[in-house]
Amino acid sequence: MMKKLQAFFAAYEQRFNDVLASGATDVEATAGAFADYFVESSPRGVMGGKNDEKFREMIPKGNEFYRNIGTLSMKIGSLDITQLDNLHAVAKTHWKAGYKNNINIAFDVFYMVTLAGGEPKIFAYVTGDEQKVLQEHGLVPKQ
């Protein structure tokens, strides 16, 4: 399980950096990293969504947001995986993001992953206040 999850997150990271470099989004591969339904928890609250056409339409828009604010790279600095049982794990990713003007931001995201269908799928993630951090670094306007 551990090797499969390490490879999964390496591919997840690579897809993000490919988009930042070229602007070309592999929508199906990105959507394929998520379960049919998934949940986000952040300071904005808890919300969930279906992995459907609407989600696929949002993927390129989200990627374009990161390119527009000057994101140059998104690297996993460390990956700590806790196996919960034979089918589930929590992966704590310590991301290191590089932006224009030599701005670097590090942050953690916790991903809940299932292998119930044979391949890893994110079914939930927990993240901090991304908008606040981006505002503090002048990458997005304060609201």
pTM assigned to the model? 0.92
The predicted structure's pLDDT at residue 63: 92
**pLDDT, tens digit, 9 for 90 and up, residues 5-31:** 999 999 999 999 999 999 888 999 999
Give the domains, in start order, of the chain with CATH numbers: 2-136 (3.10.450.50)
Q: How far apart are CA 66 and CA 99, in angstroms?
A: 9
Residue range 101-143, pLDDT digits in tens: 999 999 999 999 999 989 999 999 999 999 899 999 999 888 7
Residue 99 confidence (pLDDT) above 90: yes
Distance CA 33, CA 120 (A): 7
Name the average pLDDT for the chain: 95
